[in-house]
Amino acid sequence: MTDAAPPVADVDGVAVPTGHLIGGAWVASPTTFESRSPLDWDEMLLANVARGDEVTADAAVAAAVQGFRVWGHYSPVERAEVMHRLADLIEANNEEIARVECLDMGFLEESMKLRLVGRGAANFRLYADLVVEHEDRRWDAKDMDNHVLRMPAGPAVVITPWNAPFMLSTWKLAPALASGNTVIHKPAEWSPLTAALLAELAVEAGFPPGSYNLVQGIGSEIGAALVSDARVRRITFTGSVPTARVIGKAAAENIVPFTAELGGKNPLVVFADADIGAAAKKAAWQYDDSGQVCLSGTRLLVEESVRDEFLERFHAETDAMVIGDSRNTDTDIAPLAHPVHRDRVDGFVQRARDNGDVIVRGGHKMPDSLHYEPTLIEPKSNDSEVVQSEIFGPVLTFQTFADEAEAIELANSTDYGLSAIVYTGSRERAERMGVEIRAGLVWVNTFLVRDLTAPFGGCGISGIGREGGEHALDFHADLKTVMILDNTTS
Ligand code: NAD
């Protein structure tokens, strides 16, 4: 680590710090890694970003321990004031954040501007309000005054993935900070830049030194060092199953509570009694953002009797989607975020071909860009790799079912259980599917809307724990029960 002011990258007119924010100061590292744009991988080098190591991790945790002595004693109202100021600043910088996220990760710029930057601000507002409104339980029992207190737990490591990096970071940082914990945020190395903008805004909002720390670098290097540090008292992770296994072991070693929001292989179930046009439109919409969304309904399960009608409408909807530059407002399908990921997606399709699965549409890389053709595969069996493994690209599978029992069986037939989408015209069936599907979220006749206070998380290998509303506050607090025998005189 060096103390010389680290460079700031000019990303299409937006100044983005490329160092680590530790103890309120920006610091550089002797080595860097490249952040390139998926919009033009060879030509657009956006920034050389500090590549943190064990020394950086040690300094960041030390700063968070120090910062906890201050931030951990802020009252909920004082914390809420800073968090609302950060939300104001996020809203005021909507355009800059949207532009940098679009260039860095390839996310559709218009979606960022209209939805996700605002959602990021809303995360800070929600937790600012919740922590102020929260009333601890007090009750009389056993001749004692019983009182529950929430204690901030200490430094929290927040590790986020490369897809939707800005919104997912706010979602995890806001409850940690609202609870009085200090944070060390480690964003993904494929899309590190909007995390740097957020950290810069946090300083401007008035987070005291050491309360909000950001480190940049490679997961297996600085990420591994952070999660192994015994001074860390919470680890909250969003990413892949293999990484969760590694982090979970480190958390267990230090007896640290750990949440994991992981992948999905979510069913999109269409019954014959549904509005087939609406269902087909939503199914095609799963190609939006090139399928790089954990909640995407990637397994299309359609009642046999409406197979042809559904497929005809689905193909028409998909044909109408515009594959293009994420900066253009008419683009529906963005490029994949990284060449390694594009090749990984292609590998799944190649193996499906070799396996005898039927490629119904698409199935190829697109020339001169990181786009991949919107792909539909009819698998040879439910055991095919493309049915059972998360691909995280614009690749959907198509299967049919005879009746509701078979639909439920297929929907629940993977190790994942993050979310599900159901299309039906029957309220009774909607209720039954809500009960029977094994997933943390079930949407019926809708998709991707969620009140921020509702719990969020997965079953099976889709995760451990729940985020959202009070659930995340419970995770970040150490709850303490105080019992006072009622014989005190003053
Ligand atoms: P990943 O597991 O490769 O990386 C996630 C983060 O972990 C990155 O910041 C990375 O640097 C870090 N990391 C990697 N190795 C580490 C280690 N040994 N110790 C500490 N940190 C380490 O995941 P990804 O490819 O960035 O993200 C895609 C995955 O995330 C998909 O599976 C997707 O479904 C999932 N996801 C889940 C949700 C959800 O809410 N359930 C949301 C978005 C993405």
- Is residue 458 situated within a structural domain? no
Mean pLDDT of 290-310: 97
- Is residue 451 situated within a structural domain? no
Strand partners, 152: 477
- Is residue 476 situated within a structural domain? no
Does 312 lie in the same domain as 233?
A: no
Q: Which of 262, 297, 314 is the last residue of a domain?
A: 262
Instruction: Give me the helices (H) in 146-219, please.
Output: 165-178, 193-205
Separation of alpha carbons 193 and 188, rounded Å? 9
DSSP state of 396: E
Does 164 lie in the same domain as 186?
A: yes
**Closest CA to ligand 1's atom 20:** 223
Does 218 lie in the same domain as 96?
A: yes
Cβ contact 181:72 at 8 Å: yes
Q: At residue 6, does pLDDT exceed 80?
A: no
- Is residue 463 situated within a structural domain? no
Confidence of residue 140 (pLDDT cuts 50, 70, 90): confident
Does 347 lie in the same domain as 225?
A: no
Q: At residue 3, does pLDDT exceed 60?
A: no
Mean pLDDT of the chain: 96
- pLDDT on residue 7: 87
Determine whether 294 is an active site residue: yes
CA 432 / ligand 1 centre spacing (Å): 33
Strand partners, 15: 10
Where is average pLDDT lowest: 64-68, 140-144, 149-153, 312-316?
140-144
Does 279 lie in the same domain as 255?
A: no
Which is higher by pLDDT, 113 or 487? Answer: 113
Consecutive H or E run containing 48: strand 45-50
Q: Which of 213, 235, 262 is the last residue of a domain?
A: 262
Cβ contact 175:76 at 8 Å: no
Cβ contact 103:39 at 8 Å: yes
- pLDDT on residue 490: 63
Confidence of residue 224 (pLDDT cuts 50, 70, 90): very high
Residue 271, domain CATH: 3.40.309.10
- pLDDT on residue 194: 98
Contacts for 360 with CB less than 8 Å, ≥ 6 apart: 311, 376, 377, 378, 398
- Is residue 1 situated within a structural domain? no
Confidence of residue 134 (pLDDT cuts 50, 70, 90): confident
Does 139 lie in the same domain as 31?
A: yes
Rounded to two decimals, the pTM is: 0.96
CA 217 / ligand 1 centre spacing (Å): 13
Does 236 lie in the same domain as 107?
A: yes
Provide, rounded to the nearest whole percent, the portion of the chain with pLDDT above 90.
92
- Is residue 464 situated within a structural domain? no
Does 87 lie in the same domain as 55?
A: yes
CA 417 / ligand 1 centre spacing (Å): 17
- pLDDT on residue 170: 98
Confidence of residue 138 (pLDDT cuts 50, 70, 90): confident
Reduce the DSSP state of residue 198 to 3 states and report it: helix
Separation of alpha carbons 73 and 33, rounded Å? 37
- Is residue 462 situated within a structural domain? no
Is ligand 1 within 6 A of the CB of residue 106? no
Residue 198, domain CATH: 3.40.605.10
- Is residue 449 situated within a structural domain? no
DSSP state of 479: E
Contacts for 394 with CB less than 8 Å, ≥ 6 apart: 287, 290, 291, 333, 345, 362, 372, 373, 374, 375
Is ligand 1 within 6 A of the CB of residue 223? yes
Cβ contact 292:393 at 8 Å: yes
Nearest to 349 by CA among 336, 332, 331, 334: 336
Mean pLDDT of 331-351: 97
Pocket test for ligand 1, best of 54, 61, 159 (most atoms within 8 A of CB): 159
Q: At residue 162, does pLDDT exceed 60?
A: yes
Does 289 lie in the same domain as 236?
A: no
Q: Which one of the listed residues 101, 109, 200, 261 is annotated catalytic?
A: 261
β-pairing verdict for 441-444 and 419-423:
parallel
Reduce the DSSP state of residue 195 to 3 states and report it: helix
Mean pLDDT of 427-446: 98
Q: At residue 48, does pLDDT exceed 90?
A: yes
Q: At residue 305, does pLDDT exceed 60?
A: yes
Does 424 lie in the same domain as 285?
A: yes
- Domain ranges, residue 411: 266-444
Is ligand 1 within 6 A of the CB of residue 220? yes
Separation of alpha carbons 350 and 287, rounded Å? 19
Confidence of residue 120 (pLDDT cuts 50, 70, 90): very high
CA 159 / ligand 1 centre spacing (Å): 8
Separation of alpha carbons 339 and 41, rounded Å? 8
- pLDDT on residue 137: 85
Does 161 lie in the same domain as 53?
A: yes
Separation of alpha carbons 363 and 360, rounded Å? 8
The count of structural domains within the chain is: 2
DSSP conformation letters of 66-92: HHHHHHTTS-HHHHHHHHHHHHHHHHH
Per residue in 36-75, is it b (16+ CB within 10 Å) or e — as a string?
Answer: bbbbebeeeebbebbbbbeebbebbbbbbbbbbeebbebe
Where is average pLDDT lowest: 59-73, 94-108, 135-149, 163-177?
135-149
**Closest CA to ligand 1's atom 9:** 188
β-pairing verdict for 20-22 and 14-17:
unpaired
Does 226 lie in the same domain as 149?
A: yes
- pLDDT on residue 4: 55
Confidence of residue 332 (pLDDT cuts 50, 70, 90): very high
Separation of alpha carbons 91 and 242, rounded Å? 35
Q: Which of 223, 241, 262 is the last residue of a domain?
A: 262
- pLDDT on residue 142: 81
Q: Which two tokens stand for residue 487?
A: 């014989």
Determine whether 261 is an active site residue: yes
